[in-house]
Structure formats: structure tokens, C-alpha cells
Structure 1
Amino acid sequence: MNWVNLTSVEQLEEIKNASGYSLIFKHSTRCSISLMAKKNFEFDWDVIPSDTKLFFLDLISYRDISNHVAEVFQVTHQSPQILLIKDGECILEASHSDISAEEVAEVIAA
């Protein structure tokens, strides 16, 4: 699996309008906790169905998009943070040590 860099509002609108599952990983490049959460997530991400679109948001470089994510999906901004989107709605949000590829896979399988 590979990350798709989330770098534009247009991509965010595509995620909002897409059918199926998309995941946004909001990452701070200045935070060691965020780096650890990302590494742990990537270590286990093979449990997530391969047709799930995985988006990576560098929120230091793209703070405006990060703010837009919070607004569009009605979540409180956190870092690190994952949002699992299904058919335009955020159905799972987790941050810090609660970020889990296994939980994402379980929600998708349910």
C-alpha cells in the first residue's frame, strides 16, 4: 500500500464525494509522537483492504487543508490523527496512541 499526498482542497472534495473507504492520516513532521504513530500504523497496514485509499496530510506544510478537513468532516483537529471516511462521512476518528490499523480494518469489515 502507498500513501497519496493530500495537498489540495480539490483532493479533499474528491474524498468527500467518493464512494467506498478513504483514510486520511494527519501527520506533524515536527512531532516524535506523530512519527511513532505513523510507523506503527504502517507496520500493520497490510490488514486494511487494499482498495482503501490512503491519504497522507503533512499538516505543517498544509495547515489550511488540515483546517478544512476538520471543518468538512466535523472533527476536532488533532495531531497525529486518522479519519476513516465512508461515502463522504467520517465513521472513525482516532488520535495519538489510539491510531490503529487493526481498528480501521475491523470497522471496514463490520
Structure 2
Amino acid sequence: MGLLDKLFKSQREIEKKDHNEGLPWQLLDSEDQLNNLISNSKKKVKVIFKHSTRCGISRMVLKNFESGYTLDEDQASFYLLDLLNHRELSNTIASKLNVMHQSPQVIVIDNEEIVHTDSHHGIDIKRVEQLIKKGA
């Protein structure tokens, strides 16, 4: 490896790390999966986190979200949408759920309805936890 490779992580390494740490994320990558998670929100609260893997703010908000979560992992299902690879799906979410696209963004769905959405530094894991407790 060259000196620069040793000093700087490649974008691929950052993306891999983003997807493998913290909460038990399921990667959201299809409209069918989106439809299923919406209908299954009758059984368990669903949380979608829209994340841009090239954005430092998005990465920081994601890490804060993960590190601040204190509930049992089985109280909600967590979905991570990689915006760089699935921008069309993000547009589908905006259209289907009638929510403006933002990044980073968290969307909480309970009983097939959006009960909360926020973006950037407004994303508050404690608020999300309160909503999960209500729905659980």
C-alpha cells in the first residue's frame, strides 16, 4: 500500500464501516422492501435512516444516533438507506410517504403512518426512543 492509502481510508472502507457498526441495520435497497416494512409497521415500529456515505455531517449524525440508542434492539427494526446507491428509492420514499427528501434524515413509522421525521442535527435518538416505547 502506498503512503496515501495508509493515511487515508478509501471511500469503500468508510462505507463498509458505516454499514457494519452500531444498531442492527438492515440495508434498505428496494421498493418491495419499503412496502413490506410499511405494512409490517403494524407489528413493530420501523426506523429508516437516510444516509449519505460521502457526507461528514451524515456520518457524524449516524454515529451519534447509534451510540445514543439504549433500548433493546428487538423493540424496533432499523433500516439504513445509502443515498448514493439508492437515490431513486429515496425519491420513492418522499413520494409514497409524503415527506420531503433530506440527508441525513430519520423517519419513524408506526402502524403504517409516519409518526416522526427529522434531519441533520435535529435528529434526536431520545425522541426516537420515546416513539418506539409508545409503539412497542
TM-score bin, normalised by smaller chain: over 0.9
By percentage of residues, which structure has more strand?
1
- Contact kept in structure 2, 1:47 and 1:102, CA below 8 Å: no
Equivalent-residue separation in structure 1 for 2:24 and 2:129 (angstroms): 16
Give the structure 2 partner of residue 104 of structure 1. 128
Choose 69-78 or 41-50, whichever is displaced more.
41-50
1:72 aligns with 2:96: yes
Structure 1 match to 2:30: 8
Bigger Cα Rg: 2
| 1:60 pairs with 2:84 | yes
- The within-5 A match list for 1:75-86 is 75-86=99-110
Residue 107 (structure 1) shift: 2.0
Structure 1 segments unaligned to the other structure (5+ residues): none
Distance 1:24 1:107 in 2: 13
TM-superposed deviation, 1:108: 2.6
- After TM superposition, give the deviation of residue 48 of structure 1 in Å: 6.2
- Contact 2:48–2:78 under 8 Å retained in 1: yes
Aligned 8 A contact 2:49 2:80 in 1: yes
CA 1:48/1:7 → structure 2, altered by over 3 Å: closer, same or farther?
same
Where is the helix percentage greater, Structure 1 or Structure 2? 2
Q: Sequence identity of aligned pairs in percent?
A: 36
Coordinate RMSD, CA, aligned: 1.3
Q: Is 1:43 aligned to residue 67 of structure 2?
A: yes
Amino acid in structure 2 at the alignment position of 1:31: C
- 1:51: Cα distance to partner? 2.3
1:47-92 Cα deviation digits (max 9, x unpaired):
3663200000001100011111111111000000000000111110
Count of residue correspondences: 110
Q: Tell me whether 1:26 sits opposite 2:55 in the alignment.
A: no
Using the TM superposition, give the Cα deviation of residue 16 of structure 1 relative to its aligned residue in structure 2, in angstroms.
Answer: 1.5
Runs of 4+ in 1 over 4 A off after TM superposition: none
Bigger relative contact order (CA 8 A; separation at least 6): 1
